[in-house]
Amino acid sequence: MSRRSGEPRSGCAINAAVEALGDHWSLLVLRDIIFGDHRYFRELLNGSIEGIASNILSDRLKRFVDAGILTKEQAGRGQKARYSLTEAGIQTLPILFALGNWGLDWRDGTPELRVRQELMRQEGPQFVDELMDELRVRHLGAPAPKRSGPGPLERLEAAYAQAMGG
Protein backbone atom coordinates (compact mmCIF):
# COMPACT_ATOMS: atom_id res chain seq x y z
CA MET A 1 0.00 0.00 0.00
CA SER A 2 1.51 3.36 -0.98
CA ARG A 3 1.45 6.43 1.19
CA ARG A 4 -0.19 9.65 -0.02
CA SER A 5 1.71 12.92 0.28
CA GLY A 6 1.12 14.56 3.66
CA GLU A 7 -0.14 11.32 5.17
CA PRO A 8 1.85 10.20 8.25
CA ARG A 9 3.89 7.00 8.04
CA SER A 10 2.06 5.67 11.07
CA GLY A 11 -0.43 6.66 13.75
CA CYS A 12 2.32 7.05 16.36
CA ALA A 13 2.31 10.47 18.08
CA ILE A 14 6.12 10.62 18.13
CA ASN A 15 6.24 9.83 14.41
CA ALA A 16 3.67 12.54 13.68
CA ALA A 17 5.75 15.09 15.61
CA VAL A 18 8.99 14.01 13.94
CA GLU A 19 7.40 14.27 10.51
CA ALA A 20 6.31 17.86 11.27
CA LEU A 21 9.44 18.99 13.15
CA GLY A 22 12.08 16.33 12.72
CA ASP A 23 14.87 17.58 10.54
CA HIS A 24 17.56 19.87 11.89
CA TRP A 25 16.77 22.74 9.50
CA SER A 26 13.17 22.84 10.70
CA LEU A 27 14.21 23.07 14.32
CA LEU A 28 16.77 25.78 13.54
CA VAL A 29 14.17 27.82 11.65
CA LEU A 30 11.88 27.59 14.68
CA ARG A 31 14.79 28.57 16.93
CA ASP A 32 15.45 31.68 14.84
CA ILE A 33 11.78 32.68 14.80
CA ILE A 34 11.32 32.11 18.53
CA PHE A 35 14.59 33.43 19.95
CA GLY A 36 15.73 35.80 17.20
CA ASP A 37 12.28 37.17 16.32
CA HIS A 38 13.17 36.67 12.66
CA ARG A 39 9.78 36.90 10.96
CA TYR A 40 10.66 37.54 7.31
CA PHE A 41 12.27 35.28 4.74
CA ARG A 42 15.39 37.47 4.30
CA GLU A 43 15.85 37.81 8.08
CA LEU A 44 15.74 34.04 8.43
CA LEU A 45 18.06 33.49 5.48
CA ASN A 46 20.63 36.10 6.48
CA GLY A 47 20.33 35.51 10.23
CA SER A 48 21.03 31.77 10.10
CA ILE A 49 24.44 31.20 11.68
CA GLU A 50 24.40 27.71 10.16
CA GLY A 51 23.94 29.09 6.62
CA ILE A 52 20.60 27.67 5.47
CA ALA A 53 20.11 27.64 1.69
CA SER A 54 17.20 29.67 0.32
CA ASN A 55 15.49 26.64 -1.26
CA ILE A 56 15.63 24.71 2.02
CA LEU A 57 14.31 27.69 4.00
CA SER A 58 11.49 28.18 1.51
CA ASP A 59 10.56 24.51 1.77
CA ARG A 60 10.58 24.51 5.60
CA LEU A 61 8.47 27.65 5.83
CA LYS A 62 5.92 26.20 3.40
CA ARG A 63 5.82 22.94 5.37
CA PHE A 64 5.28 24.83 8.65
CA VAL A 65 2.46 26.86 7.15
CA ASP A 66 0.86 23.71 5.70
CA ALA A 67 1.21 21.95 9.08
CA GLY A 68 -0.39 24.86 10.98
CA ILE A 69 2.81 25.71 12.88
CA LEU A 70 3.22 29.10 11.21
CA THR A 71 0.95 31.53 9.42
CA LYS A 72 2.09 33.62 6.50
CA GLU A 73 0.69 37.11 6.23
CA GLN A 74 -0.41 37.95 2.72
CA ALA A 75 1.92 40.65 1.44
CA GLY A 76 0.82 43.36 -0.92
CA ARG A 77 2.81 44.36 -3.95
CA GLY A 78 6.30 45.44 -2.91
CA GLN A 79 5.80 44.22 0.66
CA LYS A 80 7.45 41.35 2.49
CA ALA A 81 5.36 38.49 3.85
CA ARG A 82 5.67 38.08 7.62
CA TYR A 83 5.54 34.71 9.35
CA SER A 84 3.97 34.23 12.76
CA LEU A 85 3.84 31.30 15.13
CA THR A 86 0.48 29.67 15.73
CA GLU A 87 -0.33 28.18 19.13
CA ALA A 88 1.02 24.88 17.77
CA GLY A 89 4.26 26.67 16.89
CA ILE A 90 4.49 28.26 20.32
CA GLN A 91 4.00 24.83 21.87
CA THR A 92 7.26 23.71 20.25
CA LEU A 93 9.19 25.83 22.77
CA PRO A 94 9.26 23.11 25.46
CA ILE A 95 10.64 20.72 22.82
CA LEU A 96 13.41 23.17 21.91
CA PHE A 97 14.05 23.74 25.63
CA ALA A 98 14.46 19.98 26.19
CA LEU A 99 16.72 19.62 23.13
CA GLY A 100 18.83 22.55 24.30
CA ASN A 101 19.22 21.04 27.75
CA TRP A 102 20.33 17.78 26.20
CA GLY A 103 22.82 19.74 24.07
CA LEU A 104 24.20 21.48 27.16
CA ASP A 105 24.77 18.12 28.82
CA TRP A 106 26.06 16.06 25.92
CA ARG A 107 27.53 18.32 23.23
CA ASP A 108 30.24 20.95 23.08
CA GLY A 109 29.48 24.48 22.08
CA THR A 110 30.71 28.01 22.42
CA PRO A 111 29.95 29.89 25.64
CA GLU A 112 28.25 32.78 23.86
CA LEU A 113 25.90 30.45 21.99
CA ARG A 114 25.12 28.38 25.09
CA VAL A 115 24.33 31.31 27.39
CA ARG A 116 20.63 31.62 26.47
CA GLN A 117 20.01 27.93 27.08
CA GLU A 118 21.90 28.14 30.37
CA LEU A 119 19.69 31.05 31.47
CA MET A 120 16.54 29.17 30.51
CA ARG A 121 17.71 26.09 32.40
CA GLN A 122 18.62 28.13 35.46
CA GLU A 123 15.23 29.89 35.45
CA GLY A 124 13.30 26.69 34.79
CA PRO A 125 9.83 25.81 33.51
CA GLN A 126 8.21 29.03 34.76
CA PHE A 127 10.56 31.01 32.50
CA VAL A 128 9.54 28.83 29.55
CA ASP A 129 5.87 29.47 30.36
CA GLU A 130 6.49 33.22 30.55
CA LEU A 131 8.36 33.09 27.26
CA MET A 132 5.44 31.26 25.65
CA ASP A 133 3.11 34.00 26.94
CA GLU A 134 5.41 36.64 25.43
CA LEU A 135 5.37 34.78 22.11
CA ARG A 136 1.56 34.79 22.22
CA VAL A 137 1.68 38.58 22.56
CA ARG A 138 4.11 38.98 19.64
CA HIS A 139 2.64 36.40 17.29
CA LEU A 140 -1.02 36.02 18.21
CA GLY A 141 -1.86 39.51 19.49
CA ALA A 142 -2.65 38.32 23.02
CA PRO A 143 -2.76 40.97 25.74
CA ALA A 144 0.60 41.65 27.36
CA PRO A 145 0.91 40.31 30.91
CA LYS A 146 1.74 42.78 33.64
CA ARG A 147 5.29 42.42 34.80
CA SER A 148 7.88 44.39 36.63
CA GLY A 149 11.26 44.27 34.98
CA PRO A 150 12.37 42.89 31.64
CA GLY A 151 10.49 40.05 29.95
CA PRO A 152 12.00 36.69 29.02
CA LEU A 153 13.05 37.62 25.48
CA GLU A 154 14.72 40.80 26.69
CA ARG A 155 16.57 38.83 29.37
CA LEU A 156 17.73 36.25 26.81
CA GLU A 157 18.91 39.02 24.47
CA ALA A 158 20.78 40.74 27.32
CA ALA A 159 22.50 37.50 28.35
CA TYR A 160 23.60 36.91 24.75
CA ALA A 161 24.81 40.50 24.31
CA GLN A 162 26.82 40.26 27.53
CA ALA A 163 28.37 36.96 26.43
CA MET A 164 29.31 38.57 23.10
CA GLY A 165 31.08 41.36 25.01
CA GLY A 166 28.39 43.98 24.41
Would you say 51 and 101 are in contact if contact means Cβ atoms under 8 Å apart?
A: no
How confident is residue 21, by pLDDT bands cut at 50, 70 and 90? Answer: confident
pLDDT of residue 33: 97
Show contacts of 3-11: CB within 8 Å, 24+ apart.
6/66
**Boundary-marking domain end, from 39, 70, 87:** 87
Predicted model pTM: 0.90
In a domain, 164, yes or no: yes
Whether residue 44 lies inside any domain: the answer is: yes
In this structure, what CATH number is given to the domain that contains residue 20? 1.10.10.10
Q: What is the dihedral of CA 7, 9, 14, 16, to 10 degrees?
A: -10
Least-confidence region, from 10-19, 61-70, 140-149: 10-19
Q: Is residue 5 part of a domain?
A: no
What's the domain range around 146? 92-166
**Which phi-psi region, left, alpha or beta, contains residue 51 (left: φ > 0; alpha: ψ -120 to 50)?**
left
Nearest to 120 by CA among 150, 159, 86: 159
Whether residue 165 sits in one domain with residue 140: yes
| H or E stretch at 46 | helix 41-47
> Which of 22-26, 53-57, 63-67, 114-118 has the lowest average pLDDT?
22-26
- Based on the domain organization, do 81 and 115 belong to the same domain? no
Q: Same domain, yes or no, for 39 and 53? A: yes
- Is the separation of the CB atoms in 130 and 152 below 8 Å? yes
pLDDT, tens only, 94-109: 999 999 999 999 999 9
| One domain, residues 75 and 102 | no
- 68 lies in a domain? yes
Residues 123 and 165 in one domain: yes
Number of domains composing the chain: 2
